[in-house]
Structure 1
């Protein structure tokens, strides 16, 4: 067995020099990628249109029934959520149905996740609503069945322009392989942001529950001002609207609790949102809640599809900043849920393809008056728990929405808005559970807890868009902070094992005699190099600076001795050469007789 050599960088370069043909190899790889051939074209096509790869091999016998049941369940839930979240986005309810149809069809073709349910989402809808209501605060346009595309309200135009840019940003980021950007949105940041957004959503729905009118705000501290205004208008509460909303909230919470409790005994959960909408619409129509008690209702819902129309380009400059923020947030929610289900069911999702699919869904949807979509956890859990196995479930849910758009939309025109507000609030229950993150993070990672709290507070006080920017900036600062204050430790071996642990935390860990194993919790680079060196010196147990000084002194002494010997040898050589250059003296010989 030969001993291993310890080499410096210079010696290693002499022993194993780096390759010098990187340029030609790079050109070869580029030519290979740009070369057009049948297999390459097929691989490219299957990568960007995943449905072409999985649909020909779809196991109809094993998956079809589950996908149909799952699609029907999700479609039934998608209907009330689409109507409700459209009000969050500040547009008429029918556009929530459009946003639950066109983008979902596109995602089913281009997406790689088999279990998420794309479509309207409360957090994204309220972000869109903050933009539409700030740019068009007094839009009162109501659509009728005979309207042409030019009669679409200004808020719808703003939402479509915003969605166009959101989709464009996501497509471009997906094509340039920028899917890793979501790694900078840590889980504590996302959960803190969504918790704060849930409070924004809840407050925005109080006006519908109480039956009062509230001024729309989108600047800093808007949530605080809205709460104050709502409290000041409590004496103006419409009793019929309040009772309707509270009864709906109680019934939906109760039935959802039963759905969870008896989940193993029922194949398909009770569609309580749809049942609530049907019953409330029937009561509202029979009693005439709108005229008799002044309860706000949904109003006219046009039947049929709208022709595509180009978004208004003059609005792009006004919404471009919000579009980028919404694009990142929507993707962060989508990819986090997609990865969760992929790990659970043992398949792989492509980060960049998901970004491209979501972008294309929003981009195409913007031409059909859709507002920005995301991925709702509640629908995704229903899609998975009811037997969904593939994107076919999404297509089935779209067919349910299509029937509503073409035939049944008018049946919900007398639906009280308080019912839609109740649907929104009830579906935020899962997000509100994220407050339990606070004690958990306190026990495990207090820096992550600080990120959660800063994100929550900044989003509450500064609104959704500015709050997100502040949260991301603070999260990046914590990354720098962690690299500047890493955890350094000396490792010892646990007896009779190959496990090494920090000797300061584990009494069973013992250092190996004559060896120091030093560990740093972060990568070494220029910003923490001095900290790293100081920690190594401190934990080595030796006066390293003194040893280094002694070594430098010995090196200098050795160098002086070497220079002295070199001078002496040079002098001797010089004298020798001088002696060799002189002529030899003549010698006389005497011979004695």
Structure 2
């Protein structure tokens, strides 16, 4: 045992030591690497698209696997039905279903009281039953309880063109009003218009789901969902003030409507019913005590069914004792309780309601998806956004047949179903069946429940969504962008409503995403001594700048939106500024391009031939110095990169990068082969120089170098995802401008997709070639030092490398 312990300690001690390695390979440019390793060209870049011969014919075949996959996708109920754990889940779903079903009965009665529409109770209960079963079959969330949403019901009420009905009901409130044929005609028109709005809402959602437009939710961050649900919870709580204080007010919608309602509730507080407030507080206290009761089933906590117990208890008491609180019986008793058979909606007024229906469709869908995403993340499963669109669309279509309201997620019912242990949509099916049976047989007893009892249940179940206010300080510390998204979403939804606020929140979120993804972030890199690792000079103290080389890392994609900032940053760091060329310089540049074209493509052509394209001007600005830069450098490249050329030992003259004994770094050697193409070689070297006032175009003169300490700029594009057409054009001009003042621009670490973007955008020319592109940043540094290193600086490094001992046994050698 002691030997094993000693061996383990030795192994642990060995693993803690940093491993060193030796790399021996050629310096690789992008052009050389593509030629040696046979890069495949896509069809868009001139390569032939290889299509297998056997796939050219159209084949029709039947696959049971594909059929099963499509069936499970269309009917998600089959996924959990075939894998249902009966012994573990049946009591949970039964418990949750009974609680939700008993809650839906007074909730349906309260919806009629809130909207003041003469919808028979039996129609509302049949609509809720059909919608719940429809979502059980087509929905993908395991915890969503589908039902009417009070805010959407109020929105539909405000759309209706029947103000006489609301005024008469609120003022008189007697049964004889409904016997008047005028009122009955207005009532039926209101129900017909409600059914039309609901049907059109479902059709819009169904079409959006069929066209797979539910993908928009993938671009919605979690902070937007939390803020939207928090603001929606506040809207629901304010809507319950009518039941809590027993005050009837015109619920105003629109900009700042919630503050208008709060102000008028505050003014009407002296008229509030003290009994209603007392019953509300007692109910909230009972629900609060319920959080301290813990029930464990199968090693999982389940909430005590306090809502179920509270509804049953208050129902019995209210039918025995008059509690002097407002209930739904006053309104329900005035509505003719005859069943309205299902009929097809009237779409004659389609042009008047299509805009409202579209807004309701969007709000209804996003509200359902946001709540579903919240509980899906809590229970570690996924929901399908397109399937949710189809499911809620079908629910609204079935609801319109019964002349009912727009259906969405019942937030309170969903919270009750989740906290009482519901695991699948079987709980929703049990709840819908319980609701329908009890409502048809014992519905008249539930009409006597005070409205404030149900308001207490709704308000208490909204509190989990308001707890997200505690995450706001955390967002401020972690991510300022998400903090701003949270505040804007919450303020927009709270002030402008669920529909307009959602549009503002989504637009602002997409704007933030665009700004953040295109925001240019540049970092100047330096080399860690004796290593091929490069880190930010502002972050790492050990990082040193290589003399004569500036390394910049671009941490975002390059597009027309951020290319200007990229250019400004680059010129500022190089202590230069861009000055437009004057007319004489432009004419000289154009004449030079025309001469080059004539020398290359001298031929006779007919006048009917299409004209040749105009010559491409490489740049339209020249670079001048802003101020004199310091000629001294704080570090020496000889101390960072050790050089050695071995023309005799290595026929291909490779780079040697070896591990140093003092530190796990590298000793590097560099050698380059002579280029066969002299034109490209001349382009990589500084061309015709530009001074502070003029441009020289005489290619035969000896180029005059500027007295500038930097001879090479290396752009690390390893984090660049794409470069658009405008960005590639401006980048090519920048390379030309620096080349004409004697500064070489190299690019390193470009992804193959970025190289493909450059090729499609016609980025390369006789000067900007793939010889400027290197596979790694270290290859670009070695190439720059090999080109500009003085011969007397290479001798000490060569001697040092020759005297270096052989590598240890733990060092690994890779030969390219």
Contact in 1 for aligned 2:120/2:338 (Cα 8 Å): no
Match of 1:297 in 2: 328
Structure index of larger Rg:
2
Contact in 2 for aligned 1:193/1:456 (Cα 8 Å): yes
Match of 2:244 in 1: 209
Match of 1:588 in 2: none
Corresponding position: 1:75 with 2:214: no
Q: Secondary structure at the match of 2:423?
A: coil
- Separation of aligned partners in 1, 2:106 and 2:498: 24
Mark the CA change 1:327 to 1:143 in structure 2 (over 3 Å): closer, same or farther: farther
Unaligned runs of 5+ in 1: 563-593
Q: Secondary structure at the match of 2:291?
A: helix
Match of 2:76 in 1: 50
Residue in structure 2 matching 1:218, options 231, 253, 263: 253
Deviations 1:12-49 (A, max 9, x none): 9x964322777989xx79966xx574645554333212
Residue in structure 1 matching 2:699, options 560, 567, 584: 560
Of 423-432 and 457-466, deviating more is: 457-466
Unaligned runs of 5+ in 2: 1-24, 579-622, 626-682, 702-816
- Following superposition of structure 1 onto structure 2, how do residues 334-349 of structure 1 map, counting pairs within 5 Å? 334-343=368-377, 345-349=379-383
Match of 2:131 in 1: 103
- Following superposition of structure 1 onto structure 2, how do residues 516-535 of structure 1 map, counting pairs within 5 Å? 516=551, 518-520=553-555, 522-535=556-569
Q: CA deviation at 1:344?
A: 5.2
- Separation of aligned partners in 2, 1:245 and 1:476: 42
- Separation of aligned partners in 2, 1:5 and 1:201: 63
- Following superposition of structure 1 onto structure 2, how do residues 43-192 of structure 1 map, counting pairs within 5 Å? 43-84=69-110, 87=113, 94=121, 97-98=125-126, 100-113=128-141, 115-120=142-147, 124-135=149-160, 136-137=162-163, 139=165, 156-192=191-227
Mark the CA change 1:74 to 1:216 in structure 2 (over 3 Å): closer, same or farther: closer
Corresponding position: 1:247 with 2:282: yes
Contact in 2 for aligned 1:118/1:373 (Cα 8 Å): no
Corresponding position: 1:429 with 2:463: yes
Contact in 2 for aligned 1:298/1:417 (Cα 8 Å): no
Q: CA deviation at 1:175?
A: 1.1
Q: CA deviation at 1:342?
A: 4.5
- Separation of aligned partners in 1, 2:400 and 2:356: 16
Deviations 1:449-500 (A, max 9, x none): 2232233333333333333333333333333433454444457899999999
Q: CA deviation at 1:105?
A: 0.6
Match of 2:41 in 1: 17
Mark the CA change 1:540 to 1:436 in structure 2 (over 3 Å): closer, same or farther: farther
Contact in 2 for aligned 1:89/1:127 (Cα 8 Å): no
Contact in 2 for aligned 1:100/1:398 (Cα 8 Å): yes
Q: Secondary structure at the match of 1:526?
A: coil
- Following superposition of structure 1 onto structure 2, how do residues 161-560 of structure 1 map, counting pairs within 5 Å? 161-252=196-287, 254-259=288-293, 268-289=302-323, 293=324, 295-299=326-330, 300=332, 307-343=341-377, 345-376=379-410, 379-380=413-414, 382-483=416-517, 485-489=519-523, 504=538, 506-507=539-540, 510=543, 516=551, 518-520=553-555, 522-535=556-569, 551-553=686-688, 560=699
Q: Secondary structure at the match of 2:97?
A: helix
- Separation of aligned partners in 2, 1:498 and 1:333: 52
- Separation of aligned partners in 1, 2:507 and 2:41: 42
Q: Secondary structure at the match of 1:427?
A: helix
Mark the CA change 1:66 to 1:455 in structure 2 (over 3 Å): closer, same or farther: closer
Contact in 2 for aligned 1:335/1:354 (Cα 8 Å): yes
Q: CA deviation at 1:82?
A: 4.4
What is the RMSD of the two structures over their aligned residues, measured on CA atoms? 4.7
Contact in 2 for aligned 1:185/1:332 (Cα 8 Å): no
Q: CA deviation at 1:416?
A: 2.0
Contact in 2 for aligned 1:134/1:217 (Cα 8 Å): no
- Separation of aligned partners in 2, 1:30 and 1:464: 52
Work out which structure has the larger RCO, using CA pairs closer than 8 Å and 6 or more positions apart in sequence.
Answer: 1
- Separation of aligned partners in 2, 1:230 and 1:306: 36
Contact in 2 for aligned 1:81/1:120 (Cα 8 Å): no
Report which of the two has the higher share of helix: 1
Contact in 1 for aligned 2:284/2:457 (Cα 8 Å): yes
Match of 1:587 in 2: none
Match of 1:566 in 2: none
Mark the CA change 1:38 to 1:71 in structure 2 (over 3 Å): closer, same or farther: same
Q: Secondary structure at the match of 1:527?
A: coil
Of 242-251 and 530-539, deviating more is: 530-539
Mark the CA change 1:228 to 1:63 in structure 2 (over 3 Å): closer, same or farther: closer
- Separation of aligned partners in 1, 2:26 and 2:144: 60
Mark the CA change 1:352 to 1:249 in structure 2 (over 3 Å): closer, same or farther: same
Deviations 1:310-358 (A, max 9, x none): 2332454444333333333333343344445545555443222222222
Mark the CA change 1:510 to 1:450 in structure 2 (over 3 Å): closer, same or farther: same
Mark the CA change 1:552 to 1:321 in structure 2 (over 3 Å): closer, same or farther: farther
- Separation of aligned partners in 1, 2:209 and 2:31: 43
Q: CA deviation at 1:126?
A: 0.4
Aligned length: 546
- Separation of aligned partners in 1, 2:284 and 2:208: 40
Q: Secondary structure at the match of 1:374?
A: strand
- Separation of aligned partners in 1, 2:329 and 2:57: 57
Mark the CA change 1:322 to 1:285 in structure 2 (over 3 Å): closer, same or farther: same
Mark the CA change 1:276 to 1:68 in structure 2 (over 3 Å): closer, same or farther: closer
- Separation of aligned partners in 2, 1:77 and 1:266: 24
Q: CA deviation at 1:209?
A: 1.9
Deviations 1:534-581 (A, max 9, x none): 44566789999679998452699898349xxxxxxxxxxxxxxxxxxx
Match of 1:6 in 2: 30
Mark the CA change 1:15 to 1:267 in structure 2 (over 3 Å): closer, same or farther: closer
Report which of the two has the higher share of strand: 2
Contact in 2 for aligned 1:90/1:133 (Cα 8 Å): no
Mark the CA change 1:536 to 1:10 in structure 2 (over 3 Å): closer, same or farther: farther
- Separation of aligned partners in 1, 2:32 and 2:442: 77
Contact in 1 for aligned 2:522/2:552 (Cα 8 Å): no
Deviations 1:87-124 (A, max 9, x none): 556656946644542212111111223x2223136xx4
Mark the CA change 1:52 to 1:246 in structure 2 (over 3 Å): closer, same or farther: closer
Q: Secondary structure at the match of 2:688?
A: helix
Q: CA deviation at 1:83?
A: 4.3
TM-score (norm 2): 0.57
